[in-house]
Amino acid sequence: MAKENHITTKGFILRIVNYRENNLILDILTADYGLITCSYSGRKSKNNSLRRSISPFIFAEFKLFYYRNRYSLNSLDIIESFSPLMEDLERLTCLSHLSELVMDILRHQPKASNVYPFWAYSSYCIVYQKDPILTTHLSQLKFISDQGFSPWIEDCLICHKPIKTNIVNFYLNRGGVICDAPACRKHTAESSIVLLHRTNIDLISYLLKLPYEKCFNLDVEHHLRAELLAFSKRYVNTVMEKEYKKLDILSTMEKFEKGIYE
């Protein structure tokens, strides 16, 4: 006989998908069970308070029914609604991007470590701190590094000699910095080289060593911010072998507001 369980757990809704006419599919990141997918029926029922409570990225206590390897939602009690998201497209887009990355990692590594505390700290900072875009890029660099994709930045990844120049070559295809020695540069493709100031290299190194509660409120000087964001985007896309595009919407909106039309 299949086992039936009524389960209560806390978690964050990472994604909501409409399913058929009256159903929703929810992806919920929980502390107890990792990422779970559950169904909810009655989305269009009148006077349904539960339906009105289901929103992207809320933190809640969920009461679920588990049967035959499937979860269904019975009720939820919201703990944190992250209300600023409903009025801030920038922050909502940032969280949507980060949730896509987190779910991609979990699909390939279902037992990935520390995902729940990572999301708890990073999502809160994205919603409430002054620079959500920078926080998102710091978050994704920290996250993929903790999942085994840390960039090599301590010395040249080929000859392992220290690099003392102010401008450092980062080789995307190999995931690390390389020096200017001809023997180290001869097999690299110039299109895969990203130039980084030493200050940004040091910041990334510092970021990767910090605990989650301290690493999402770092400041970056204005003239180095664009360089760091561009590196973060290309590095994550290269590591994940996927072009993440949600944050591009914000760049397009920023250009439009400045009267730049392409």
- Percent with pLDDT over 70 in the chain: 92
- Scored b (16 or more CB within 10 A) or e, 12-30 reads bbbbbeeeeeeebebbbbb
Residue 252 to residues 11, 131, 188, 247, 262: CA-CA distances in angstroms?
33, 17, 32, 9, 9
Instruction: Tell me how far apart the alpha carbons of residues 69 and 71 are, in angstroms, rounded to a whole number.
Output: 7
Residue 186 to residues 104, 179, 234: CA-CA distances in angstroms?
34, 11, 22
Using the predicted structure, report yes or no on whether residue 262 has a pLDDT greater than 80.
no
Superfamily holding 4-81: Nucleic acid-binding proteins (2.40.50.140)
Instruction: Tell me how far apart the alpha carbons of residues 103 and 113 are, in angstroms, rounded to a whole number.
Output: 13
The SS3 of residue 27 is: strand
Instruction: Give the mean model confidence (pLDDT) for residues 158-186.
Output: 94
pLDDT bracket for residue 1 (50, 70, 90): very low
pLDDT bracket for residue 254 (50, 70, 90): low
Q: Half-sphere exposure of 77 toward its Cβ, with a 13 Å CA cutoff?
A: 5
What local confidence, expressed as pLDDT, does residue 258 receive? 53
Strand partners, 8: 63
What local confidence, expressed as pLDDT, does residue 189 receive? 84
pLDDT tens per residue, range 28-76: 999 999 999 999 987 555 547 777 789 999 999 999 999 888 999 999 9
Instruction: Tell me how far apart the alpha carbons of residues 142 and 207 are, in angstroms, rounded to a whole number.
Output: 7
* Neighbour count for residue 228 (Cβ, 10 Å): 21
Task: Find, among 56, 141, 142, the residue nearest to 96 by Cα.
Answer: 56
- The DSSP output letter for 125 is H
Instruction: Give the mean model confidence (pLDDT) for residues 171-183.
Output: 94
Residue bearing the bigger pLDDT, 100 or 23: 100
- Percent with pLDDT over 90 in the chain: 72
The model carries a pTM of: 0.90
What local confidence, expressed as pLDDT, does residue 260 receive? 53
Domain ranges in the chain with CATH number 2.40.50.140: 4-81
Run of H or E including 199: helix 198-209
Instruction: Give the mean model confidence (pLDDT) for residues 66-92.
Output: 91
Is residue 27 a contact partner of residue 59, using CB atoms and an 8 Å limit? no
State the average pLDDT for the chain: 89
Residue bearing the bigger pLDDT, 4 or 179: 179
Instruction: Give the mean model confidence (pLDDT) for residues 150-166.
Output: 95
What local confidence, expressed as pLDDT, does residue 190 receive? 85
Instruction: Give the mean model confidence (pLDDT) for residues 85-94.
Output: 92
Residue 112's φ and ψ, nearest 5 degrees, are -55, 140
Instruction: Tell me how far apart the alpha carbons of residues 246 and 237 are, in angstroms, rounded to a whole number.
Output: 12
What local confidence, expressed as pLDDT, does residue 261 receive? 47
Using the predicted structure, report yes or no on whether residue 251 has a pLDDT greater than 90.
no
pLDDT tens per residue, range 131-157: 999 999 999 999 999 999 999 999 999
Q: Encoding tokens for residue 124?
A: 């809160």
Domain ranges in the chain with CATH number 1.20.1440: 87-257
Which CATH architecture fits 87-257? Up-down Bundle (1.20)
Task: Find, among 173, 193, 170, the residue nearest to 241 by Cα.
Answer: 173
